[in-house]
């Protein structure tokens, strides 16, 4: 792919004028432990902690001998996929999840293209699966993390319900925050509520067994229920149900030299002391938190969206509307923006001059296994074009440290809403931690920062 020049789009009525951004020569990332490229991993190239645990458990299984009650089973992704095919389920649609990443990786690489869709959000997946059933009469599978249950409640109640259109499908749900397991606060809340939510929706469910014969029997149970009731049936997938399966490495354009963390650091280094930051869920907020620790900056300027995927720009818009004298920077990811992209229309039409939207696009759901997003198709997909159509005043694209630094400085003085898309490679640091402050502490610090400035 030819290296495209950096362009800043200024919208003038129905026409666009392109102005080239200047280049900086003095911007460098500090070469400390956080930017050493040897510490970066791809979800698809390293032997993961999960794989090592799997190998250790396999050794313990061998040592158990005849004490079969001590054997810990794992469900092979290919075996479960074939078992789904055996009961007539051959269409898969959903949003990737870390607990399902091995199965999702297998489906991504082995299902025919017309039989697998990575959807924008979970409700979108249920609707696509419904269309598949209407066209074929067959039973589809929708996969999701339990945090996505909120996105599917409406289509489950008003579309697939036996009292409405009565559409059968299997819901494969990653059970984050399972009671009795260590997890993040937002997942613990969702995990506790998950069984009750499914019960309230009238959807029968069971934990997915982690061994082949048990999974086969569970699938037969689901098949018989769907044939009899023509309604959804759910499986809750616990931690480490599936054996590891690696997603094959996708080629990264040579011009995408930075990681998401590299890009974030350049952005932060070019903000002022009064600028406000709202960051998206996943690796981005974790990297931002650690960078503030490394630089001894404090965390009060940042609101970390530990959950609520897809709603980061809406949170930022609410802040921008009430703090019009402050520059509000929304640090977003491609998967997050796509999940609720309608928010861009609201942002664009708000005409908030202090709203600055930065989308770091690595073309993947990086925090849940590295499955591709539609934004990775750089020849066809353009956040800039979408933003322009929604009413953003200006758009920019950057790929290098110098371009990012210049664009951030430029956009601080521009009338918003403004969008900057930063194209990066996949992957995250091996030793990346999690925020050590609670969401409540983050909220209180952030509100205090907004109040005193």
DSSP string, 295-355: HT--STTEEE-SS-TT-HHHHHHHHHHH-TTS-EEEEEEHHHHHHTTTHHHHHHHHT-TTE
Please indicate, yes or no, whether residues 392 and 432 belong to a single structural domain of this protein: yes
Give the domain extent around 339: 8-45+252-452
Please indicate, yes or no, whether residues 175 and 316 belong to a single structural domain of this protein: no
Q: What does the pLDDT look like over 411-448, one tens digit per residue? A: 999 999 999 999 998 877 777 888 889 999 999 999 99
Please indicate, yes or no, whether residues 274 and 423 belong to a single structural domain of this protein: yes
Identify the pLDDT of residue 82.
Answer: 98
Q: What does the pLDDT look like over 120-151, one tens digit per residue? A: 999 999 999 999 999 999 999 999 999 999 99
Please indicate, yes or no, whether residues 193 and 281 belong to a single structural domain of this protein: no
Band the pLDDT of 376: cuts 50, 70, 90. confident
Please indicate, yes or no, whether residues 198 and 224 belong to a single structural domain of this protein: yes
Domain assignment present for residue 1? The answer is no
Please indicate, yes or no, whether residues 40 and 107 belong to a single structural domain of this protein: no
Please indicate, yes or no, whether residues 384 and 350 belong to a single structural domain of this protein: yes
Are 355 and 416 within 8 A, CB to CB?
Answer: yes
Identify the pLDDT of residue 370.
Answer: 73
Residue 382 has which token pair?
A: 């353009």
Q: What does the pLDDT look like over 59-74, one tens digit per residue? A: 655 555 655 655 668 8
Asked if pLDDT for residue 12 goes beyond 90, the answer is no
The number of folded domains in the chain is 2
Please indicate, yes or no, whether residues 390 and 416 belong to a single structural domain of this protein: yes
Domain assignment present for residue 243? The answer is no
Domain assignment present for residue 160? The answer is yes
Please indicate, yes or no, whether residues 260 and 364 belong to a single structural domain of this protein: yes
Please indicate, yes or no, whether residues 175 and 57 belong to a single structural domain of this protein: yes
Q: What does the pLDDT look like over 242-299, one tens digit per residue? A: 999 988 877 777 788 899 999 999 999 999 999 999 999 888 999 999 999 988 888 9
Please indicate, yes or no, whether residues 41 and 58 belong to a single structural domain of this protein: no
CB atoms within 10 A of CB 316: 30
Domain assignment present for residue 295? The answer is yes
Distance CA 312, CA 337 (A): 8
In b/e form, how buried is each residue of 237-252, taking b as 16+ CB within 10 angstroms?
Answer: beebbbbbbbbeeeeb
Identify the pLDDT of residue 64.
Answer: 53
State which of 237, 267, 289 marks the end of a domain: 237
Domain assignment present for residue 247? The answer is no
Query: Whole-prediction pTM value?
Result: 0.82
64-68, 173-177, 353-357: lowest mean pLDDT where?
Answer: 64-68
Domain assignment present for residue 2? The answer is no
Please indicate, yes or no, whether residues 102 and 124 belong to a single structural domain of this protein: yes
Domain assignment present for residue 424? The answer is yes
State which of 195, 211, 237 marks the end of a domain: 237
Domain assignment present for residue 434? The answer is yes
The CATH number of residue 128's host domain is 3.40.50.970
Q: What does the pLDDT look like over 82-111, one tens digit per residue? A: 999 999 999 999 999 989 999 999 999 999
* Average pLDDT of the chain, as a whole number: 86
User: What value does the mean pLDDT take over residues 187-212?
Assistant: 95
Identify the pLDDT of residue 372.
Answer: 83
State which of 192, 207, 237 marks the end of a domain: 237
């Amino acid at each position: 792919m030819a290296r495209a020049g950096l362009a800043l789009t200024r919208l003038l009525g129905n026409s666009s004028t392109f102005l080239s951004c200047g280049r900086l020569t003095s911007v460098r990332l500090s070469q400390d432990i956080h930017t050493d490229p040897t510490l970066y991993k791809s979800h698809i190239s390293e032997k993961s902690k999960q794989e090592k645990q799997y190998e250790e458990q396999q050794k313990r299984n061998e040592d158990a001998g005849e004490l079969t009650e001590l054997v810990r089973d794992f469900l092979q992704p290919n075996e479960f996929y074939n078992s789904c095919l055996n009961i007539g389920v051959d269409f898969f649609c959903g949003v990737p999840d870390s607990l399902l990443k091995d199965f999702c990786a297998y489906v991504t690489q082995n299902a025919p293209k017309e039989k697998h869709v990575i959807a924008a959000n979970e409700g979108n997946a249920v609707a696509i699966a419904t269309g598949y059933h209407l066209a074929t009469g067959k039973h589809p599978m929708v996969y999701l993390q339990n945090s996505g249950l909120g996105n599917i409640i409406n289509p489950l109640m008003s579309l697939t319900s036996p009292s409405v259109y009565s559409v059968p499908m299997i819901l494969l749900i990653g059970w984050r925050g399972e009671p009795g397991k260590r997890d993040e606060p937002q997942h613990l809340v969702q995990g506790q509520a998950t069984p009750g939510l499914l019960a309230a929706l009238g959807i029968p469910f069971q934990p997915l067994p982690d061994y082949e014969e048990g999974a086969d029997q569970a699938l037969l149970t689901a098949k018989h229920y769907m044939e009899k009731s023509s309604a959804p049936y759910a499986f809750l997938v616990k931690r480490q149900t599936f054996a590891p399966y690696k997603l094959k490495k996708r080629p990264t354009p040579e011009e995408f030299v930075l990681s998401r963390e590299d890009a974030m650091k350049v952005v932060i280094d070019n903000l002022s002391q009064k600028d406000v930051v709202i960051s998206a869920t996943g690796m981005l907020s974790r990297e931002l938190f650690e960078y503030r620790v490394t630089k001894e900056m404090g965390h009060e300027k940042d609101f970390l969206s530990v959950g609520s995927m897809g709603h980061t720009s809406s949170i930022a818009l609410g802040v921008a509307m009430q703090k019009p004298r402050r520059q509000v920077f929304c640090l977003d990811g491609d998967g997050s923006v796509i999940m609720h992209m309608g928010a861009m229309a609201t942002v664009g039409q708000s005409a908030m001059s202090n709203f600055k939207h930065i989308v770091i696009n690595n073309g993947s759901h990086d925090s849940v296994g590295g499955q591709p997003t539609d934004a990775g198709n750089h020849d066809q997909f353009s956040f800039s074009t979408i933003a322009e159509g929604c009413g953003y005043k200006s758009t920019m694209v950057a790929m290098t440290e110098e371009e990012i630094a210049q664009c951030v400085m430029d956009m601080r003085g521009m009338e918003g809403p403004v969008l900057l898309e930063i194209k990066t490679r996949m992957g995250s640091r091996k030793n990346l931690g999690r925020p050590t402050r609670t969401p409540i502490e983050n909220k209180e610090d952030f509100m205090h920062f907004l109040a005193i400035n």
